[in-house]
Each structure stands twice: as structure tokens, then as C-alpha cells.
Structure 1
Amino acid sequence: MSGWDDRHKAPIVVWTSVADLRVDGRQRHIVKPEDEHRLTLDVLLEPRDSDTLIVALHGALNRDVYTPPRFEWMGTLAGRKESVLFLSDPTITLSERLRLAWYVGNASDNIPERYAQLIRTAAVQCGATRVLFFGFSGGGFAALSLAAVMPGSIGIAFSPQTSIGSYYEQFSDMFAEDVFPECRDYADVEATYGSRVSLLARYANAAPDTTFLYAQNTGDTHHMRRHYEPFRELTEGRAGAHFRLREDSDGHTVPPKEYLLEILDECASGDLQPASPREASLSL
């Protein structure tokens, strides 16, 4: 043990490599690579006696209120029977003004790929054969991104962005300036890192056994028009593609807790139709 996190009431263990990580009860794991060009991964893991691991992803942070690491959904997921892994996005640590960075990483560090390695390691040690990614808004983007990187998992996204470039310019411009300063502008970022910043690019050639449930609030007109509709047009009809529409509010708000848990229950139970028979068990 390397310390104690009083805020999250968990022992802290620091590793230099994902391959070294060892699970021993509820812990905060920090993976701080010796390579200075790689970002520090920061997670909170609660292993339970279950064949399912829920991976919880956060959205935008009010930097006046929250400081990284951010482990979102702790209240919502309290008391679940599944193991839970809370991931903080290390990308937002690149700038004090960043509120949202979509778990993209930077030019020298592909965070979805590195987190996928960590999640596989955690799942094996927790005895989980099913992985569910769970997030809202920017966290929903990350849930769908990671699901595409990890065939056999399920991405659960509530009113996500599906393209950073289709979000509000103030966010995409700040993201480009602070995360990819070597690029001229956001257009240059997208041209260089297409599938990392756009789910349309990532899912254009996604593995055929990629499974997701995309739940959209119809009252959120911005996300309906600029994110949901293009993504549904691209993926509708594919095996493993599931869409849910319902009106929760007139804006971009978190769905009611009961609805979030209902969707989680469905996916955790195995009732959601997978893309192919081999998805019944996560390929680790």
C-alpha cells in the first residue's frame, strides 16, 4: 500500500505498469508510467463476487467544484452486486481549464487502448467475464469508444456526444488547444486522430461483434440532431446495435436514477441481444 485516500475511503496502490496491477479488495490504483510522455491512470476498483464488471465513466467536470481524480456514479452504483471500476480521465489533467476531454489522451498516449489493457487485467482478477461500460454525455462517448476497442463488452451510453467536432465550439476548440497543441486547430486534430475523437470514424469499421445500448433523451435537441441521428444512421441495423428513445427533460440532463438502473439491470442480466454468440463471454 502506498497511502490512503480519505476522500474515497480506500487504500492507494501505485504501479508503473498495468501488467503489474494486482487486485486485493477495494483499492484506488494509480498507474504512473516511468515514461514521462504517458499520462497517469487513476481508478477506484470495488471487486465483488460477480461475473460482471461495470466500468463507470465521468462526463464534464466543474473545475471550481471537482478536482481530479473524478469517480462518477458512486452513489448510483452503491449496493450493486457487480464489481465496479471507476475510471478518471487523465486527459483533463493536461490543463486546469479543461472540463471535458472524452478519455482521448494526447499525441503520445492513446488512453482508450491503455485503459482497455487495465480493464482486461482487472476483469480477469475479479473473475468477470462480462464488462459493461457506463456513462452519460462525455462519459457516454467514452463508453462507446471503449466498447469498440474491447469486443465482447457492452457500451451503455446516455445522451452521449458522438463527435467532439459536433459539440459546442468552445469545448472542441479548448480541447484542441490544450490536448493537441501541435495541431493547427480542431480540424487538424480530427484529420490526424479521426477514430479517437469521432465515434462515427471509430464505428465506420468497428468489429462486427461490437455491442452497445444508446439511450437518448428526445428533449435534448442538440444531441438528438448533431450526435444521435448521424450515429444511428451509420449503425442502425447492425447486430449488437440497440437504441432507446424517451423524453426526460428539455435539455442535456442526467436521466432518472431508476431508468439508469433499469438499463444496467437489463445489460447485466444478459437479456440484451449480443452481436454474436461469442459475446456471451468477454474475450480477454
Structure 2
Amino acid sequence: MVWTSVADLRVDGRQRHIVKPEDEHRLTLDVLLEPRDSDTLIVALHGALNRDVYTPPRFEWMGTLAGRKESVLFLSDPTITLSERLRLAWYVGNASDNIPERYAQLIRTAAVQCGATRVLFFGFSGGGFAALSLAAVMPGSIGIAFSPQTSIGSYYEQFSDMFAEDVFPECRDYADVEATYGSRVSLLARYANAAPDTTFLYAQNTGDTHHMRRHYEPFRELTEGRAGAHFRLREDSDGHTVPPKEYLLEILDECASGDLQPASPREASLSL
């Protein structure tokens, strides 16, 4: 179904919903919703897209989440449609369109119509960034992030430079983007002012040294000790790889149960 505004959206079984505003300067939201008889809505977010293989929209985690009892909402990042070479855009939007805020409106609408009172955001890498960003935008939700970036500027320069050039061409460079849109491109800025009980579970592969040092450590230092902050450390590989399906579902089950546990002694010993 195609809608001109989020307020018009109506849920009627498993369906793709496209929100195409009449304002040509705003991006088109594209989602796939699978409503189920549950009080929980899982929002699935994608990471980098190989543009030689995939064409937007991208609905990631369909295999992993198949058979779940919760309702599931798959979000495609419209930001990557701004350029054919963009592989990763972190659900940021552009100068004319704050995508985290607009998607939050859509999620609230979908949750109400699905009968869901709890929202879980779920993503890896760039999708993990979006999960944590949206959790801060939507109080009462839970962000579940696996080895996410926490600052676009701390990621590999080729990605941040391309992002700045193609998404914010009015800015001089990435530094100008961050100075102008701080909380949208840096979770350190977003969480510096987030509600102290913003809830998230951040699961990091300790073998991914880039994300451990440049993303996990600064974010944990900022948020350690907050009521809603939960961290999990384990070694899955020597690089930036998706965790095993069993672990993904184990973490998801823990968050869906509403009974988040503190870090294990081993994880605590690995913390800052």
C-alpha cells in the first residue's frame, strides 16, 4: 500500500507499506510489516548494502526472524536511495528529512494497530547504530545492537566521506556534517542528552578490534552505570561478522522476556 503520510497508514495483514510524502524534498519510507497476536513489535534494521547485488528496499533478517511469535516490522533505509554508490547511510536522512523522527512516528502507528505495547529495535553494524539511535528517540523501547558503529566519523573514512558528499552535499566535509547534525550522526552526542533510563543491549564481538576500540569503548565509557545500559562481550571471529543465529535469538529472547540481566563476571572483567 502507498500512503502520503504516516497518519494514514492502516495495518491489514502482512503487507508492504510505502509512505511517499507529497513534499518532494522528503524521502520515501518503505517497510514490510508482519503483524502477529503479540504485545511486542520487533523492528528489524539493515546494515551495509552491496549495491551490485541488492537494490533498495532492503528488508534484512527475514530468515532469522521467521517463525517468531512477535509482530515484525522490517525497515529499509531511504537515505541510501540518495546515491547509487551509497552502501551504508545509518538511517540518518538528509538536511530536509530527519529519518529517525519520521520512522519513530511510523513505528508508533504500526505498534498501536498491531496491539503492541513493547518495541524492540534489532540490528547489526549500521543497523545496530540505527537500533540504538531509535531507542533513544522512542522512550520505553529497547535497542538491541550487535557490533554497531557508534559514530559515523569514527568509521572508515571512505564511508564517512562518501556519506557526507552524497547525503549532505551542502556541507563542506564530514566534520561540517557532524558539527551541524551531531546527534543524528553520533550516538555519543545522542546519548549525552538521552533519558537516563533509555534501554539498550549492546553485544560486541571482542575479536572485532576496530569496533571494540573506536565504537564500543567510547560508548560504554559514556553510558556505563545507567539504569538502561546493558552490555554483552564475546568473541565470535577476528573481524566484523554477523554473530551466529543462535546467539542473535538468545539475545532477542532475553530482551523480549523483559528480564535483562547484568553483565557476567567475565564480561565485567573485560569492561573499561
TM over 0.5: yes
8 Å contact 2:230–2:263 — kept in the other structure? no
Mark the CA change 1:114 to 1:76 in structure 2 (over 3 Å): closer, same or farther: same
Q: Give the C-alpha shift of residue 209 in structure 1.
A: 2.3
Q: How far off its partner does 1:115 sit?
A: 0.1
Q: Deviations for 1:225-247, whole angstroms, at most 9, x for unmatched residues? A: 00000000000000010000000
Deviation at 1:281, TM superposition (A): 33
SS at match of 1:281: helix
Asked whether the 8 Å contact 1:129–1:282 carries over to 2, the reply is no
Q: Alpha carbons of 1:209 and 1:15: their partners in 2 closer, same or farther (altered >3 Å)?
A: same
Instruction: Give the 3 Å change call, closer, same or farther, for CA 277–17 of structure 1 in structure 2.
Output: farther
Which ranges of 4 or more aligned residues in structure 1 deviate by more than 4 Å? Answer: 273-284
1:282/1:34 CA distance change after superposition, 3 Å? farther
CA distance in 2, matches of 1:181, 1:277: 47
Give the 3 Å change call, closer, same or farther, for CA 276–248 of structure 1 in structure 2: closer
Name the counterpart of 2:202. Answer: 214
- In the alignment, structure 2 segments of 5+ residues that lack a partner are none
Scaled by the length of structure 1, the TM-score of the pair is 0.92
Inter-CA distance 278–117: structure 2 relative to 1 (3 Å threshold): farther
Q: Where in structure 1 are there 5+ consecutive unaligned residues?
A: 1-12
Please give the per-residue CA displacement for 1:194-227, whole angstroms capped at 9, x wherever unaligned.
0000000000010122100000000000000000
| Whole-Å separation in 1 of the counterparts to 2:18 and 2:46 | 17
Q: Kindly indicate whether the alpha-carbon contact (under 8 Å) linking 1:53 and 1:85 is maintained by their aligned counterparts in 2.
A: yes
TM-score by length of 2: 0.96
Measured against aligned partners, the alpha-carbon deviations of 1:6-62 in whole angstroms (never above 9, x if no partner) come to xxxxxxx00000000000000000000000010000000000000000000000000
TM superposition shift of 1:277: 26
Task: Report how many residues are paired.
Answer: 272
CA RMSD after TM alignment: 5.2
- Residues 282 and 68 (structure 1 numbering): CA distance in 2 closer, same or farther, change over 3 Å? farther
Distance across 1 between alignment mates of 2:271 and 2:40: 13
252-261 or 268-277: bigger deviation = 268-277
CA offset at residue 280 of structure 1?
26
* 8 Å CA contact 1:153, 1:279 repeated in 2: no
Deviation at residue 272 of structure 1 after TM alignment: 1.6
Inter-CA distance 32–276: structure 2 relative to 1 (3 Å threshold): farther
